[in-house]
Amino acid sequence: MWTMPENEEPGRPVVRVTRRYRFSASHRLHAPELSAERNREVYGKCNNPYGHGHDYVMDVTLRGPLDARLGRLVSVDQLDQFVRCTIVDAFDRRNLNLDVPEFATLVPTTENLALVAAHRLAAAWPLAFPGSPALPEKVRIWETPRNIFQVFVANSEPFRVMDESARRHAAPTKESR
C-alpha cells in the first residue's frame, strides 16, 4: 500500500501537481454471472451488446515535497510520457472489454477504470521514478460532464494486476536516474 514519502520534513512544502489527459474508448457493461435480464436492469442502455464509447478526461494528481533546488515536484514532460505509456496508450481507441487485460475479469465501469488506472500508476511508478519523493495520489475520470469518478491511489491495492506492457513502459527516464 502506498504511503506518503518517508522523507517529508516539517517545514518543507508539500505540493500537488495535477495533469489532465484525454482518451476515447468503448465498452459494454455486462457481468457474466448475471442473467441477460438482470444485466439490462443493472446497466440499462450501457449493456448494449454492441457496446458504446466515451471521450474520457482523466486527471492524475501527484503529491510530495517540493524540490527546493529545482522548484518543482516532477518534470511534467516525464510525467506526461509516463502516463501516456502506462495508461493512455493502453486505453485510447480501444474496446476496454477486449483489449485491456484487467477487464477480462472486471466489468469496465468507470469506477473500475479509475481503479485500474490508479493501480497501473502505483505499480509502475517506482520503476519509472526510482527514489522520487513524489507519489501518485489520485486519479479522477470524467465519463460525461455529470459522471465523475475519483479514486485515491492507495485504495487501488485490491486491483493489483499489472500487465507486461505497463512494466515495459515503466523504464527509468533520463532525469529520474
pLDDT in tens, 12-49: 789 999 999 999 999 999 999 999 999 999 999 999 99
In this predicted structure, the answer to whether residue 141 has a pLDDT above a threshold of 60 is yes
Q: Give the CATH number of the domain where residue 89 resides.
A: 3.30.479.10
* 58 falls within a domain: yes
* 123 falls within a domain: yes
Q: What is the pTM of this model?
A: 0.82
Q: Total domain count for the chain?
A: 1
Residues with Cβ within 8 Å of 73's Cβ and at least 6 positions away in sequence, in order, are 15, 16, 17, 62, 64, 65, 66, 67, 134
* 12 falls within a domain: no
Domain range enclosing 40: 22-168
List pLDDT tens digits, range 119-135: 999 999 999 999 899 99
* 174 falls within a domain: no
27 near 56, Cβ under 8 Å? no
Strands 94-95 and 135-142: unpaired
* 50 falls within a domain: yes
